[in-house]
Amino acid sequence: MQKYPFTRMRRTLIKAGMPVLATLGLAPSLLYAGNYHSQRAELVRQLVEETGLSKQHIEPIIAQAVFEPSIIKRIKTPYESRTYAEYRPLFVHPRLAKKGKAYLQKHAAIFEASEKKYGVQKEIIAAVLGMETRYGVNRGKDAVVSSLYTLATGYPRRAKFFRRELGELLLLCQEEGLNPLQFKGSYAGAFGTTQFIPSSYRAYAVDADGDGKRNVWTSPADIINSVANYFHQHGWNGSQPLAYWLVDKDVSKALKKQAQQGFKHWQYLGDIRAKLPALDARWHDDAKVTLIEMTTKQGKQIALVDYNFYVITRWNRSYNYAMAVTELAALMGCKACQTHD
């Protein structure tokens, strides 16, 4: 790895120490990466090794990547870090549900065929697409190459992950005949109406309309079926419900303690049914379930969740996201998604 040039500015910063960096609002790693791009050559070397693509192919692309400090700030303060009381109103409301219903009606035949093939409720797919991009209206304006470059070189905690995603982007562009420098998307490197990250695109995007391309930007058939395929491949069970809010008076101390473990403690519903309030017929004893705790407008609240709820978090690793998808889908008419009586 190349060393940073020992400039007068760097000498001053080192002599002054962290107070100067704090005044500038930059961590040392961001300051150096942003000003000098010292890791660019090393990144190219790693990408060549990991993808099998040539240096001549990769280097001109990485040369045009721009380090964007704002990307680091945004990934450290995602919407999902808020309480559910703050997060829910962003997505679970009649306006977005109305858009979702219109999208479902417009592409009814595609949704019907997709649900039959993959077993994923159409409202779940519509909720995901509504939350991600408002059905293609807001696909993101960040240059994906620059976003992934920034995170691969300036975000040590997940640098390896984002470097691999950058490699996946280069590979998918070679496979699909696309130009990576033309990709626009989110600060985390997601793109298209689906907001797939590159590795998810390569693994789960499908050519449902049969035109020889996996078009997750403008092909409704490819978009809808690609999301359905993702959930199907991660174990979605269309015959199971998703979540059910428990009333505080029905929650014992033992259940509250179990809820602290969340996804670390799965069991069959039949094993804990006696400890729960009466549930409707959707909930079967052989369902794989757990309990989670979230902060709602009512304060700390416990929810019983099926494994399907966990599958949603494979898309976005957040209780907030999964619950919002569930409740938005319920507003669109998904009976399996109802979270209360």
CA angle at residue 160 from 156 to 165, to 5 degrees? 125
Q: What pLDDT, on the 0 to 100 scale, is given for residue 38?
A: 65
Q: What pLDDT, on the 0 to 100 scale, is given for residue 26?
A: 43
Cα distance between residue 25 and residue 14, in whole Å: 15
What residue ranges do the domains of the chain occupy? Answer: 8-75+142-185, 243-337
Summarised one tens digit per residue, pLDDT across range 167-207 is: 999 999 999 999 999 999 999 999 999 999 999 999 999 99
Q: Is the pLDDT of residue 4 over 80?
A: no
Question: For the residues of 253-294, what is the DSSP string, one character each?
Answer: HHHHHHHTTGGG--EEHHHHGGGS----TT--TT-EEEEEEE
The phi, psi pair for 268, rounded to 5°, reads: -80, 145
Summarised one tens digit per residue, pLDDT across range 219-266 is: 999 999 999 999 999 999 999 999 999 987 767 888 888 888 999 999
The superfamily (CATH) of domain 8-75+142-185 is Bacterial muramidase (1.10.8.350)
Find, among 216, 193, 228, 219, the residue nearest to 115 by Cα: 228
- Contact (Cβ atoms closer than 8 angstroms) between residue 92 and residue 325: no
Summarised one tens digit per residue, pLDDT across range 136-145 is: 999 999 999 9
Q: What pLDDT, on the 0 to 100 scale, is given for residue 146?
A: 97
Summarised one tens digit per residue, pLDDT across range 19-38 is: 333 333 444 444 444 434 56
